[in-house]
């Protein structure tokens, strides 16, 4: 895609509601780009866009994918040719019914790119793997009892295998960290066969990854192919090594009942869940009180808003520069795959 002729960008995102984020984006873009910050949720319009509305003037939109209902109804009246999503996942846009209908009649589909939080997610996974490896939760319980007792037995991480469900930018970044620790990294992919940095990739062969893994990390997006992919007993082949399951992808890959079943059956030894089938997680969910579950509220990519905007700015500005240089952009969403 060539740089937008208008040089105008509309940014509607909760991550850019504060001045620090807005100044940072403007500084990184330079004076040749004009950014209009307008949170669409605060600017309801009727069925027809006013002539002076930014959607009619801007060709580029930076937006949260969960804001799809706020801008999708007006895409056919807009000048938007490039949508950059502030999140790694884009399912709420791609699954929006009005967006699907728009695509059937659009003369040209907008380019869609997304943001990567891979580095932050790698740190999140490393923290939990190290915590499990050293029995931190166990020793916290002993501390409460005033007990000095060394009783966690384990093998070095360098002798263990991490299985990855998803070998895209997040999977590769996380695997690169664990490879530095000498761990074996194997990956499941729906299509990709690019090996680096994995020791092995099994396209379409989930069992091979489940059977080898002592840690199992999911970073797959939510698509029709991945919804409930691990539900209904599908984790049973993992029982051989009963891995710690870490989900930083989407909660839709496994339902709550199947997580509890896998834990109680010993197919997995622990579940670290940064995502849930329904967010926020229902207060009555059995997962809250399960002794083998650790829950975090979707913070693997960043825990507070002020931590997140630099990732978005970096991803977006990188693609601006690539487009201006006539080079291929990064993290372009495939309409065929849905991510």
- What's the CA gap between 331 and 325, in Å, rounded? 17
Per-residue pLDDT of the chain (339 residues; tens, 9 = 90+): 444 454 899 999 999 999 999 999 999 999 889 999 999 988 777 888 999 999 999 999 999 999 999 999 999 999 999 999 999 999 999 999 999 999 999 999 999 999 999 999 999 999 999 999 999 999 999 999 999 999 999 999 999 999 999 999 999 999 999 999 999 999 999 877 778 999 999 999 999 999 999 999 999 999 999 999 999 999 999 999 999 999 999 999 999 999 999 999 999 999 999 999 999 999 999 999 999 999 999 999 987 777 899 999 999 999 999 999 999 999 999 999 999
Domain 8-116+305-324 and domain 118-295 have a common topology: yes
Q: Are 288 and 256 in contact (CB under 8 A)?
A: no
pLDDT of residue 2: 44
**DSSP label of 282:** P
- Bridge partners (DSSP) of residue 35 are 9
Q: Are 315 and 115 in contact (CB under 8 A)?
A: yes
CATH architecture under which domain 118-295 falls: 3-Layer(aba) Sandwich (3.40)
pLDDT of residue 4: 43
Instruction: Give pTM, 2 decimals.
Output: 0.91
Given 3.20.20.300, 3.40.50.720, 1.20.1440.230, 3.20.80.10, which CATH number is that of 8-116+305-324?
3.40.50.720
53 C-beta neighbours (distance < 10 Å), count: 18
- Would you list the domain boundaries of the chain? 8-116+305-324, 118-295
For residue range 250-294, list pLDDT tens digits in order.
Answer: 999 999 999 999 999 999 999 999 999 999 999 999 999 999 999
pLDDT of residue 1: 46
- What's the CA gap between 254 and 265, in Å, rounded? 16
For residue range 157-208, list pLDDT tens digits in order.
Answer: 999 999 999 999 999 999 999 999 999 999 999 877 778 999 999 999 999 9
**Under the phi-then-psi rule, with left for phi > 0, alpha for psi from -120 to 50, and beta for the rest, what region is 331?**
left
pLDDT of residue 21: 96
């Amino acid at each position: 895609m060539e740089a937008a002729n208008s040089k105008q960008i509309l940014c509607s995102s909760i991550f850019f509601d504060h001045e620090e984020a807005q100044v940072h984006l403007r500084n990184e873009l330079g004076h040749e780009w004009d950014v209009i910050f307008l949170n669409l949720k605060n600017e309801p319009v009727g069925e027809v866009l006013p002539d002076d509305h930014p959607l009619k003037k801007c060709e580029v939109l930076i937006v949260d994918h969960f804001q799809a209902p706020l801008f999708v109804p007006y895409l056919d009246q807009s000048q938007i040719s490039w949508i950059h999503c502030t999140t790694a996942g884009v399912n709420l846009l791609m699954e929006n019914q009005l967006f699907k209908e728009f695509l059937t009649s659009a003369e040209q589909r907008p380019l869609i790119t997304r943001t990567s939080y891979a580095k932050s997610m790698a740190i999140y996974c490393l923290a939990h793997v190290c915590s499990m490896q050293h029995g931190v939760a166990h020793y916290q319980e002993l501390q409460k009892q005033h007990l000095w007792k060394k009783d966690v037995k384990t093998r070095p991480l360098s002798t263990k295998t991490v299985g990855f469900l998803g070998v895209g930018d997040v999977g590769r970044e996380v695997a690169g960290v664990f490879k530095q620790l000498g761990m074996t990294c194997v990956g499941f992919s729906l299509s990709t066969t690019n090996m680096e940095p994995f020791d092995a990739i099994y396209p379409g062969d989930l069992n091979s990854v489940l059977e080898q893994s002592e840690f199992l990390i999911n970073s797959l997006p939510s698509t029709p192919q991945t919804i409930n992919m691990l539900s209904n007993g599908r984790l049973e082949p993992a029982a051989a090594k009963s891995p710690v399951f870490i989900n930083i992808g989407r909660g839709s890959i496994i339902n709550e009942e199947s997580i509890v079943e896998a834990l109680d059956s010993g197919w997995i030894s622990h579940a670290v869940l940064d995502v849930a089938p329904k967010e926020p997680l229902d207060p009555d969910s059995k997962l809250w009180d399960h002794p083998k579950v650790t829950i975090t509220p979707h913070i693997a990519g960043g825990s507070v808003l002020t931590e997140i905007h630099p990732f978005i700015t970096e991803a977006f500005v990188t693609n601006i520069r690539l487009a201006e240089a006539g080079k291929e952009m990064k993290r372009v969403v495939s309409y065929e795959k849905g991510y």
